[in-house]
């Protein structure tokens, strides 16, 4: 039976990240493009479901497993650069000014060797929990953002 999709490998080093404004209580489609960035590394795109174990009397083969709560890892974007100050302003807004409702939808898009978008992951209602700047060294080659850690409330493959 022939397959309907191409089996060429996707190289995971071609991706870009966009940030859209997504305040708490906003309707779908209300998002506004904020900025985009280029990062050399992205980790933490995973979700874990903790199964509920139900032990029933008379069920001797093992307990029943039911779906439980889903938790998401912190997404870490490393060694990035952007042409705006929006990510730092977002950090300040969330952590210095305590604007708890200011969340962003973050889209991480994987591209093929030709630059064509292949697949995207969306982080729902993301907020920055750590912003790390590179060390200041005149001999160094570091770039604008060393690390940006994002907590979020949902991970979707779109």
- State residue 156's pLDDT score: 94
Specify the number of domains making up the chain.
1
Domain range enclosing 132: 15-157
pLDDT confidence tier of residue 85, bands split at 50, 70 and 90: confident
pLDDT tens per residue, range 89-146? 888 887 776 666 678 899 998 887 777 888 899 999 898 898 887 777 676 655 567 7
In-domain check, residue 94: yes
Whether 9 shows a pLDDT value over 50: the answer reads no
In-domain check, residue 26: yes
- State residue 67's pLDDT score: 95
Whether 49 shows a pLDDT value over 90: the answer reads yes
State how far the alpha carbon of 84 is from the alpha carbons of 8, 74, 87, 148, in Å.
Answer: 35, 24, 8, 15
Name the average pLDDT for the chain: 79
Instruction: Choose among 108, 120, 123, 121: nearest CA to 154.
Output: 123
| Lookup result for tokens 């708490």 | 24
In-domain check, residue 6: no
In-domain check, residue 73: yes
Instruction: Choose among 89, 111, 119, 104: nearest CA to 150.
Output: 104
- Of the two residues 78 and 26, the one the predictor is more confident about is 78
* CATH number (domain holding residue 78): 2.30.110
In-domain check, residue 4: no
In-domain check, residue 38: yes
pLDDT confidence tier of residue 38, bands split at 50, 70 and 90: confident
């Amino acid at each position: 039976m022939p397959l309907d999709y191409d089996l060429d490998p996707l190289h995971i080093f071609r991706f870009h990240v966009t940030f859209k404004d997504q305040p708490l209580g906003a309707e779908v489609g209300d998002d506004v493009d904020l900025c985009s960035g280029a990062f050399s590394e992205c980790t933490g795109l995973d979700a874990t479901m903790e199964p509920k174990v139900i032990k029933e009397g008379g069920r001797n083969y093992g307990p029943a497993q039911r779906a439980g709560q889903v938790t998401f890892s912190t997404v870490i974007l490393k060694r990035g650069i952007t042409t705006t100050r929006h990510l730092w302003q977002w950090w300040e807004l969330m952590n210095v000014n305590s604007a708890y409702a200011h969340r962003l939808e973050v889209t991480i898009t994987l591209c093929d060797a030709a630059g064509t978008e292949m697949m995207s992951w969306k982080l729902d209602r993301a907020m920055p929990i750590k912003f790390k700047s590179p060390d200041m060294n005149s001999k160094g080659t570091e770039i604008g953002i060393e690390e940006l850690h994002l907590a979020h409330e949902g991970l979707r493959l779109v």
